[in-house]
Amino acid sequence: MTTAVEHHQARMQRVLEYIDQHLHDDLNLETLSSIAAYSKYHFHRQFTATFGLSVHRYILLARMKRASYRLVYRDTQSVTAIAMDAGYAAPDAFARSFRQQFGQSPSSFRKSPDWEPWHSAFTPLNDARSKLMQKTFTKDDVTIREVPSTPVAIMEHRGDPAALAATIQRFIAWRQLFSLHPRTHPTFNVWRSERRPESPADYSVDLCVGVPSSFEVKSEQVTAGEIPGGRCAVLRVVGNTDNLEPAALFLYRDWLPASGEEARDFPLYCQRLSLFPEVPEHEAVAELFLPLK
What is the arithmetic mean of pLDDT over 238-262? 93
pLDDT in the model for residue 2: 66
Of residues 293 and 132, more confidence is placed in: 293
* Cis amide linkage into residue 277, ω under 30° from 0: yes
The CATH code for residues 139-291 is 3.20.80.10
Average pLDDT in the 84-111 region?
A: 91
The pTM assigned to this predicted structure is 0.85
d(C-alpha 38, C-alpha 34), whole Å: 6
The pLDDT tens digits of the residues spanning 10-62 come to 899 999 999 999 998 889 999 999 999 999 889 999 999 999 999 999 999 99
Which residue ranges make up each domain of the chain?
Answer: 4-129, 139-291
CA pair distance 105, 269, nearest whole angstrom: 35
**Residues 99-144: pLDDT tens digits?**
999 999 999 999 999 988 898 999 999 888 887 766 789 999 999 9
Q: Do the domains 4-129 and 139-291 sit in the same CATH topology, yes or no?
A: no
Select 4-129's CATH number: 1.10.357.140, 3.40.228.10, 1.10.10.60, 1.20.120.550. 1.10.10.60
Residue 134 has what pLDDT?
Answer: 61
* Cβ(35)–Cβ(13) below 8 Å: no
